[in-house]
A and B are shown apart, each in its own frame.
Chain A
Amino acid sequence: MKFLPFRLKIALLSAVISGVVLVGFGLAAYFMIARQKIESLDTEIQSIAARHPGWINSRGDFQRLDESIGEHIIVMIQDSGGAVRHTSSGWPKEIKPFTNELVDDPDTRVKPIDDGGSRGGRGWGGMGRGLGPGGGGQAEFTKIPQFMTTGQWRLGMLGTADTTLVIGLDSRPTRAELDRLRNAFLLALPLALFLVGLGGWLVAGRALRPMRAIAETAALVTSRGLDQRIPLSNEDPEIARVIQVLNRMMDRLENSFHQATRFSADASHELKTPLAIMQGELENALQDALPGSREQQVFSNLLEETQRLKTITRSLLLLARADAGQLKPTMEAVDLSGTLEEIIEDTRILAAASRLVFEVELGPGITISADPALLHTALLNLFVNAVKYNEPGGTIRVCLEALANEAVLTIGNSGPGIPAGEKDQVFTRFHRVDAARQRRVDGLGLGLSLAREIVLAHEGELKLLESRPGWTNFELRLKLQAAGWAENPATSI
C-alpha cells in the first residue's frame, strides 16, 4: 500500500503520454485517409469523364446518357457561357448551375482511355458503376479541373474548350467508411489507454518489488535483529547495487553492534571477579572489626556501594545479553497473583515514608509461565519506579486480570507525569525524566529498559499507557500459562 501512489503515478503517466501520442497519431491518420479518399473520388470523377467522351460529344442526345448512369452519379453539362445544356435525372435542384470560369491548363490532357486496356492495369474496374459505352469520339479536357463538396455530393468540373462537364459522385459511402474508421479508433483508444495504464501499473509494481523487499528486510532488522539481509535475487544492476550497498551497511552495523554488545558483556563479566574479591574482603574485615566501631561502619558503607556496583553490573549484563538475543528465560509456572502480593507488600514498606495509598485489585490465581528471577526483577523495577516518581501522599493503583490468553497488569502512579517530548524515551537506557532528576531521585535509569527487555524475552509487552500530570500508567501483558503445562514442568528446559 505504501508504494501505491508511485505505481499510480507511473500508470497514469504512461496512459497520458500514450494517450497524447495515440490521439495525435489518430488525428493525423484520419485526415490523411480522408484526404486520400476524397482524392480517389476526384480521380474516379476524372476517369469517368475520360471514359465517356460521348457525354460531351452527344450534342443534345442525352437519352442514352441518362439510362446509362446509376443513381450514384449525377451529371450536368454546361456550355462555356454557363448555360445548362443538360442535367441528369438525379441532379438535385438545390445545386445551381456553376458560373465560375475554368482556367486553361496547357499541360493537362485527360486522354480518353481504352476500356479494355485500362481495367486490370489501373484498378478502375472495381469502380464500375454500370456505365454503358458513352459513344465514340474523343474529348479533350483542356481546363484545370475544379472539385468541391456539396452536401452528399463530390462534384468535379471538367472543361473542354466549349463545354463544361460536371460530374457528381455520391460521397456517402466514403463518409460512412471514414466514420467507421473514426468510431473504431474512438472505441479502441480508451481500451488502449487502459491497457497501457495497466501495463505501467504492472511494470511499476515489478520495478518496485525489489524496493519492497528492501523495505521489508529493513523492517525485520529493527524487529528481529541485525542478522537479516536482503536476498540478492534481482539481476538489474542498479537494484543489485543498492542491495549490495545496503547489505554491506548492515554488515558493518551488525559488526559494530556485536562488538559493543560483547564489550558490554565482557566488561560486566570481568567486573565480577574484582567485585567478588572486594565484597569478600570487606565482609571478612567487617566481621573482624570491633562491633560498632568507626572502621566497621566504613566497611559497611563500602559493602553497600559494592552491592550497588553488583546491581549495575547485573543490569548491564542482562541488557547486553538481551541485545545479543541471549536473554533466555528459564520458564516455569509462576503464580503471578501471589508474586504481586508479595511485591506489593514489600513496596508498601518501601513507600512507607511517602505515605502512599495503594489501590489493589488482583485477580486470584493467575498463573503465567516465566523465569521467576527475571520476572521478579522486571516487576520490582516497575513498582520501584511507581514509588520513586510519585508525590508524597499519592496513589499507586495496581490491577491484574486475565483477558483471553493474556495476563494484563496495569500499574498507575499519581506522579507529575512524563513530559510529552520524553514519552518515547522512558524505556531508553540511562534516561531519567528531567523533573525527576531535579528531585534527586536515586537510580541509574536502567530499571524500565531492563524491565522492558525482560518482558520482551518473555514474548510479552510493556508499554506506557498514558502519562499526564497527576497520573502515569504502565501496562504489562504476559501470556497466560497454557493449560496442562503444570504437570510437565520439564518441558520448560
Chain B
Amino acid sequence: MKILLIEDEKKIASFIRKGLEAHGFVVDVSHDGNEGFTVATTRPYDAIVLDIMLPGRDGLSILRSLRERKMPVPVILLTARGELNERLEGLNLGADDYLTKPFYIEELIARLHVVTRRASGASQSILAVADLTVNLLTREVARGQRKIELTAREFEVLEHLARSPGRVLTRPQICERVWNYDFDPGTNLVEVYIQRLRKKLEAEGERKLIETIRGVGYRMKSES
C-alpha cells in the first residue's frame, strides 16, 4: 500500500515512515504544504497522512482542495492540539480520521487499515492468524471450526493483537487502544484480559497463539 505522509517535523516524519515501512507500507514523505499538495494531486496513493500545522499550505486547506477536486483518497489528520473545533472542521471537510499527537504507530496503522478498507469496499474484514479467524464486521471469532464467544473488550484486545501478528505490543499501548486509559494502573487490566483471552482461545491441545515477551508485552504468533 502506498502512503503519502505530509509532516514538517522531520523527526516525527522519520519514525512514522520507519514504522509504516516495517508494516509493509510504501511511504513518500513531504515536509512542506505546497509541495505536499502538488505530490498528492499528481500521484496516486492509497491514503494520505496529513499534519494540520504546516509551512506553506496548512493541512486543512490541502484537504479542502483535495475534496473540491473530488479526490476520494482516504485522509488521516495529525495534530498536536486535539482541539474540538479543529477536529470537527477536519471531519466536516472530509477527513476520514483524526489522530492527536503523541500517538502509537500501531494506532496509526490500525486506522490506516480501517480507512483503506472502507475505501476499497471492506474486502479485508477478516483477520487470519494460523487457524484463528477474526471477523471485524460480524465480530465472530473462530479457531478452525470452533466458534469462540468473546466479550466486547476481549474482542478489542484480540483485534489489536491480530492486526499486527509478529509485532510486540506493550501493555500501555494496548491499554490506550482498548480502554482509552492513558494512565499507568491500567496495565494490570491488560494482563487480566490476556489471561481470559488465552483461556478461551487456547483450548487443550491447541497451539499457543499469544506469546508473552517478558518485561515488554505481548505478541501474536506470526505464521508457521
Contacts and interface: CB of A to CB of B under 8 A. Distances in A.
B41 interface: no
Contacts of A272: 80, 101-102
Contact of B168 (A278, A281, A291, A310): A291
Contact of B170 (A300, A310, A328, A387): A300
A304 B15 contact: no
Given A283-B105, A311-B183, A304 B170 contact: yes
A353 B217 CA distance: 20
Interface stretch (B16-24, B31-39, B115-123): B16-24
Given A277-B12, A284-B19, A291-B168, A269 B216 contact: no
Question: A273, A277, A279, A283 — which one has the most chain B CB atoms within 10 A of its CB?
Answer: A283
A297 interface: yes
B180 A376 contact: yes
B172 interface: yes
Contacts of A308: 183-184
Interface residues of A, number: 44
Interface in A450-493: 493
A346 interface: yes
Interface stretch (B59-67, B127-135, B138-146, B185-193): B185-193
A273 B188 contact: no
Interface in B1-48: 9, 11-12, 15-16, 18-19, 22
A199 B183 CA distance: 66
B21 to A, nearest CB: 10
A387 to B, nearest CB: 8
A292 interface: yes
A351 to B, nearest CB: 9
A280 B15 contact: yes
B interface, size bucket: 35 or more
A276 interface: yes
Contacts of A176: none
Contact of A311 (B11, B106, B184): B184
Contact of B18 (A269, A284, A291, A442): A284
B203 interface: no
Given A280-B102, A286-B216, A296 B168 contact: yes
A269 B173 CA distance: 21
A346 B101 contact: no
A302 to B, nearest CB: 10
A284 B9 contact: no
A346 B156 CA distance: 15
B179 A346 contact: yes
Contacts of A328: 84
Interface string A372-404: 010010001000100100000000000000000
B170 A273 contact: no
Contacts of B103: 276, 279
Interface in B76-128: 80-81, 84, 88, 101-106
B170 A303 contact: yes
Contacts, number: 119
A426 interface: no
A352 B192 contact: yes
A328 B185 CA distance: 27
A304 B168 CA distance: 14
Nearest to A277: B11
Nearest to A321: B83
A287 B217 CA distance: 11
Interface in B188-224: 188-189, 192, 213-217, 219
A283 B19 contact: yes
A240 interface: no
Nearest to A300: B216
A307 interface: yes
Nearest to B78: A276
A149 interface: no
Contacts of A13: none
A442 B216 contact: no
Nearest to B214: A292
B101 to A, nearest CB: 4
A276 B99 CA distance: 12
A123 B80 CA distance: 107
Contacts of A304: 170-172, 184, 187
Contacts of B102: 272, 275-276, 278-280, 306, 310
Contacts of B214: 292, 297
Nearest to A312: B183
Given A328-B84, A373-B180, A350 B189 contact: yes
B176 interface: yes
A287 B188 CA distance: 22
Contacts of B105: 280, 283-284
Given A272-B102, A284-B19, A303-B170, A350 B12 contact: no
Interface in A311-346: 311, 314, 328, 330, 346
Question: B11, B80, B101, B102 — which one has the most chain A CB atoms within 10 A of its CB?
Answer: B102
A232 B213 CA distance: 70
Contact of B15 (A277, A296, A297, A353): A277
A269 B81 contact: yes
A287 B21 CA distance: 12
Given A276-B102, A296-B213, A380 B181 contact: yes
A420 interface: no
30 contacts: A273-B12, A273-B101, A276-B80, A277-B11, A280-B105, A283-B106, A286-B216, A287-B19, A287-B167, A288-B22, A292-B213, A292-B214, A296-B168, A297-B214, A300-B215, A300-B216, A300-B217, A303-B173, A304-B171, A304-B184, A307-B176, A307-B183, A308-B183, A310-B102, A311-B183, A311-B184, A349-B192, A352-B192, A376-B180, A380-B183
- The 10 A-B residue pairs whose C-beta atoms are closest, nearest first, are A280-B15, A276-B102, A297-B215, A276-B101, A307-B172, A300-B216, A272-B80, A275-B102, A277-B11, A311-B183
Given A292-B216, A330-B84, 19 more contacts: A269-B80, A272-B102, A273-B12, A276-B103, A277-B12, A288-B22, A291-B219, A296-B215, A297-B214, A301-B215, A304-B171, A304-B172, A307-B176, A346-B179, A346-B189, A349-B189, A373-B180, A380-B183, A387-B185
Interface of A: 269, 272-273, 275-281, 283-284, 286-288, 291-292, 296-297, 299-301, 303-304, 306-308, 310-311, 314, 328, 330, 346, 349-350, 352-353, 373, 376, 380, 384, 387, 442, 493
